[in-house]
Amino acid sequence: MDLQGYFNRIGFTGPYDKPDLDTLRTIHKLHVMTIPFENLSIHCGEKNTTDLHIIYDKLVKSNRGGWCCENNLLFSWVLKEMGYKYTTLGSKVFNKFQNDFYHVDSHLINMVEIDGKHYITDVSYGVSCQLWYPLEMISGKDQPQPPGVFRLLNNGETWVLEKTSRKQVVKDKVYANSSLIDKRLTKIMYCFPLTPRDKEHFVETLDCLQTSPDSRFVLKSICSLQTPNGFRALIGWTYSEIIYNPEEDSDLVVMKEIPDCEIEAVLQEKFNVVLVNKFTPKNNKANYCM
């Protein structure tokens, strides 16, 4: 694995001799603008893994994306190679239908310490809740970013990440009531303690997430990528482009259906993703929205 290969992949050309906050912010944003959050391997007869060499070959050499344990594990390796002091953490994602957090850690994140301050990095949540930059670990502080206002809350043992969004304005009224549209303005994303976790901590849960018929990742094929003014997503056959408009406190949502014969072209043109194995899109009912 080669750090320069990763830098070439995300388009980073700056100095990296000093592990400071400015550099961390730069590579965090470049990562989410270049490497998609996607679960397409599950729908191509492939299996996701926590093997870093396989992840590097997939995300860096093969220009693919990945889900949290791929993107954030790769990012943890980048942090180590660049000399950052970091800790990998496990988080429980919030289930809006059950109004509670999942009972197991299913989302991997990293905590970075710089000059005595701690920051959360997460380059793989995807869609409208994707962090563009690290979040400073200050409880209750509003931290505005282009996707909205993020906020970390601490009750002593556990941290909770939430986000305040703007109203989503759907251009085509046919999609106004789509289950993919999240009408909540304040969203709880996940919670986490500061207990260090290694990648083996996630193996059993990740196997379940890519095999269980009830898993959102089995029920839906997902590919999303941040753009300079929003993000784009292909969920099943539904392609969406979201344009952030903070001046009017709203986001424009443009959605359309993609026929099977054009799916591969959309993946290549909009996400720079070329699949080797046969891809079967899925968009069944599940706890997932943009």
The answer for 83, left when phi > 0, alpha when psi is -120 to 50, beta otherwise, is left
Could you tell me if 289 and 179 are in contact, meaning their C-beta atoms sit under 8 angstroms apart?
Answer: yes
Burial level of 215, CB count in 10 A (0-12/13-18/19+)? middle
Within 13 Å and on the Cβ side, how many CA atoms surround 250? 7
> How far is Cα 167 from Cα 184, in angstroms, rounded to an integer?
8
User: What pLDDT, on a 0 to 100 scale, did the predictor assign at position 53?
Assistant: 98
Determine the pLDDT at residue 97. 83
Which residues are catalytically annotated?
68, 107, 122
Q: Which own/partner pairs from 49-53 qualify as long-range (CB within 8 Å, at least 24 positions apart)?
A: 50/199, 50/200, 50/202, 50/203, 50/206, 52/1, 52/77, 53/1
Q: What is the DSSP string of 233-245?
A: EEETTEEEEEEEE
pLDDT value of residue 287: 85
Could you tell me the two tokens for 5? Answer: 């290969």
Q: What pLDDT was estimated at residue 4?
A: 97
d(CA 73, CA 199): 8
pLDDT tens, per residue, the chain with 290 residues = 999 999 999 999 999 989 999 999 999 999 999 999 999 999 999 999 999 999 999 999 999 999 999 999 999 999 999 999 999 999 999 998 889 999 999 999 999 999 999 999 999 999 999 999 999 999 999 999 999 999 999 999 999 999 999 999 999 999 999 999 998 999 999 999 999 999 999 999 999 999 999 999 999 999 999 999 999 999 999 999 999 999 999 999 999 999 999 999 999 999 999 999 999 999 999 989 99
SS3 146: coil
The tokens describing 205, both together, are 């849960």
Position of tokens 């996607």? 38
Contact (Cβ atoms closer than 8 angstroms) between residue 137 and residue 147: no
Nearest-angstrom CA–CA distance, 265 and 267: 5
Largest CA distance in the chain: 53
| SS3 state of residue 153 | strand
Identify the pLDDT of residue 96: 87
pTM of the model: 0.97
> What is the Cα 130 distance to its own chain's centre?
5
